[in-house]
Structures are given as structure tokens and as C-alpha cells.
Amino acid sequence: MKLTRRLTIGAALALAMMGGAAQAAEMKIALVVKSLGNGFFEAANKGAEEAAKELGNVKIIYTGPTSTTAEGQIEVINSLIAQGVDAIAISANDPDAVVPALKKAKQRGIKVISWDSGVAPEGRILQLNPSSNELIGKMCLTLAKDHLPDGKGDFAILSATTTSTNQNIWIGEMKKQLKEFPGLNLVTTVYGDDLSDKSYREAQGLLKSHPEVKVIVAPTTVGVLAASQAVKDAGKIGQVYVTGLGLPSEMAGAIKSGATKEFAIWNPIDLGYSAAQIAYHLVKGDADGKPGSEIPAGRMGKIKIGENGEAAMADPFVYNASNIDQFSKVF
Ligand code: RAM
């Protein structure tokens, strides 16, 4: 009798301990970025960390390849599967190449979403866009126009990689909307792969091979920074302008030098925060992310998933000499 009781108590204790351990298991959310060392993604990670703190018992694994390749991301995804993470939130270097690895993650019960730079629908539950793609395209053209005398002249695009989902969509939008900007003439598009040195060289090349180009539009924070530096180093400030999507903290110098008059971006901290919130609720199971549904996202309110399986956050905001000092302290 005594022994049975002791055994029962022992079993109960063991069960309680196991239950306790299960409750204490931290939720692991991987934030997979295009590459490490990009200030935009570091700001997004800040937001993801903020969400993790708020939610409690959540660990953010900030990771990505050193170079902006799909191959590098596939390796990262495979290692996250091996680690047994609960969710993967990826900004993809290629919408299709990462799909098989992400499908494997899904088979292992990992919740997969894409954010910033999307993945094809079969590879993820939903895609979180920073803003409306149409609006971003229009914003880039408006910025180009505003840098040209009379809003007329030749411009070139300096993009990220040739396979980057988000930049390709935005460039597509720019091309579609060019007819509404009759003064603008797109001369060429070059690719700096979201690497500072390659972007700088591509910008230098543009300045040499296309002296008619008066504005370089870079819809990438890495590209816009490198191009403004290239214009400055070439002594072309006032002759060639650079604009596009940039981080205030990185572009303050370009605004001061005059290489750029204005540029735009959304809040990368809010974007990372929302991606982490969405991943958390998908893992918890209190949201399914299906088209037409809503997902709670803390201080960002509820995020609505459109019928296309995509959600969009706030409008981009314009930065110039009047507000750069204030915002360069934030992101
Ligand atoms: C770079 C990356 C990122 C993009 C921003 C604007 O940091 O390409 O994907 O959203 O620029």
C-alpha cells in the first residue's frame, strides 16, 4: 500500500514536472533575412524582439546568409528545420527557389510566412507587405520626378538582385505607371544585389555609361546609400540625384551632401514587429492566416489578410532635410 502510494505520488510529481517543462518550452520564431549586415533587417529585428518581449516566452532567431542568395537561404532553412523551430518568417531572395525547403518545413509542423520580399503562395501561409505595391511604385516615380527640373528627364533604376520578389514587383509597378509620368524616361535597370560594394560599382558604371541619366532611383536601402556615395565621390552632386527607398539613419549624410533631396520608407521596426506577432499567433493556433481572416498584432492592431493571401501595412513616408535628424535616431 505504502509503496503504491509512493509510486503514485512519484508518478504525479513526474507528470507535473513534465507538464511544467512543456509549459516553459520557449516558442522559437526564426526571422530569416535576405542577408546579414543590412540595417533595414536589423531594424526589423528590433521590432521582432519587441514583440517577443511583449508576448513572453518567445525567442527570435535572427538569421540569414552572408550574401543575398536563395542557395544561402535554403541552407539556413534546412538548419532551422533541424533545430526544430516553431515558425519561419522569411524575406526571400527568390520567390520560387526557397519553396521546396519551406514545404519541408511545413511538413515538420513549422508555420511559414513571408514578409518584405515574398515567397510564392505554395511556400507560405501568407505574405506581409510593408505597404501597397502600387503605392510604392508610384512613390518611386514621384520622387524621381521631383528631383528633375520641370519633372522631365532620363532616369535609371539601381535594384537589388534580379530575383528579389519585392524589388521586381515594385519595378513592375513603376513600369506600369510610367504612362502617368509623361516627362520620365527609364533608360536602364542595373542590379547591385543588395551588397554595398557591388551597388556602388553599378552606380559608378551608370554614371559613366549613361551621362544622360539625371536621377538614379534605388528601391533598396543598400542601393540608395551606395548610389548616393558614388554620386558624391564622382563630384556629381547637383548634376545627378539619387532617390528611392532608404533608411533615415543611413541616408542622413546623403541629405546633408545634397546627393539626395528626399527619399521614402515605411517603418521597418513595425514590419518586423508585425511579422513576429503573426508568426506567434499562427503557432498558438488562435489564427489561421487564411485569406479574408484577421490576425491580432499587438500595438499594430489587427492585420487583415486579403483574398490573395497577402496583407499590407502603412503608406511609405517621405524624408528630407526637414525631418531627417529626427528620424535618423529611430531607424
Ligand atoms: C533593402 C532590402 C529590403 C527592402 C528595402 C527597401 O534593405 O532589399 O528587402 O524592403 O531595401
Q: Are residues 91 and 15 in the same domain?
A: yes
Mutate-to-test residue for ligand 1 from 31, 32, 34, 269, highest number of ligand atoms within 8 A of CB: 34
214 close to ligand 1 (CB < 6 Angstrom): no
Q: Are residues 94 and 25 in the same domain?
A: yes
Residue 41 lies in a domain: yes
Encode pLDDT of 308-326 as tens digits.
999 999 999 999 999 999 9
Atom of ligand 1 nearest to the CA of 219: 6
Residue 53 lies in a domain: yes
Encode pLDDT of 287-311 as tens digits.
999 999 999 999 999 999 999 999 9
Contacts of residue 142, Cβ cutoff 8 Å, sequence gap at least 6: 181
- Residue 88: the pLDDT is 99
Mutate-to-test residue for ligand 1 from 158, 166, 199, highest number of ligand atoms within 8 A of CB: 166
Q: Are residues 151 and 108 in the same domain?
A: no
Mutate-to-test residue for ligand 1 from 40, 164, 243, highest number of ligand atoms within 8 A of CB: 40
Residue 74 lies in a domain: yes
Residue 140 lies in a domain: yes
Q: Are residues 65 and 39 in the same domain?
A: yes
Q: Are residues 182 and 194 in the same domain?
A: yes
Q: Are residues 189 and 295 in the same domain?
A: no
Q: Which residues of 220-249 are buried (b: 16+ CB within 10 A; e: fewer)?
A: bbbbbbbbbbbbbeeeebeebbbbbbbbbe
161 close to ligand 1 (CB < 6 Angstrom): no
- Residue 9: the pLDDT is 53
Residue 188 lies in a domain: yes
Atom of ligand 1 nearest to the CA of 220: 11
* pLDDT < 70 positions in the chain: 1-24
- Residue 277: the pLDDT is 98
Atom of ligand 1 nearest to the CA of 130: 10
Q: Are residues 20 and 103 in the same domain?
A: yes
Q: Are residues 211 and 63 in the same domain?
A: no
Q: How far apart are CA 18 and CA 13, in angstroms?
A: 9
Q: Are residues 117 and 145 in the same domain?
A: no
48 close to ligand 1 (CB < 6 Angstrom): no
Angle at 241 between CA 188 and CA 179, to 5 degrees: 50
Residue-range definition of the domain harbouring residue 52: 6-130+268-313
Q: Three-state DSSP class for 324?
A: helix
The number of folded domains in the chain is 2
Residue 328 lies in a domain: no
Q: Are residues 120 and 70 in the same domain?
A: yes
- Residue 6: the pLDDT is 55
C-alpha 130 to ligand 1 mean position (Å): 10
Mutate-to-test residue for ligand 1 from 128, 168, 222, 274, highest number of ligand atoms within 8 A of CB: 222
Residue 91 lies in a domain: yes
220 close to ligand 1 (CB < 6 Angstrom): yes
- On whether the CB atoms of residues 80 and 98 are closer than 8 A, the answer is no
Residue 206 lies in a domain: yes
Q: Three-state DSSP class for 22?
A: helix
CATH number at residue 155: 3.40.50.2300
Give the domain-ending residue among 233, 265, 297: 265
- Residue 1: the pLDDT is 43
- Residue with the smallest CA separation from ligand 1 atom 11 is 220
* Centroid of chain to Cα 116: 3
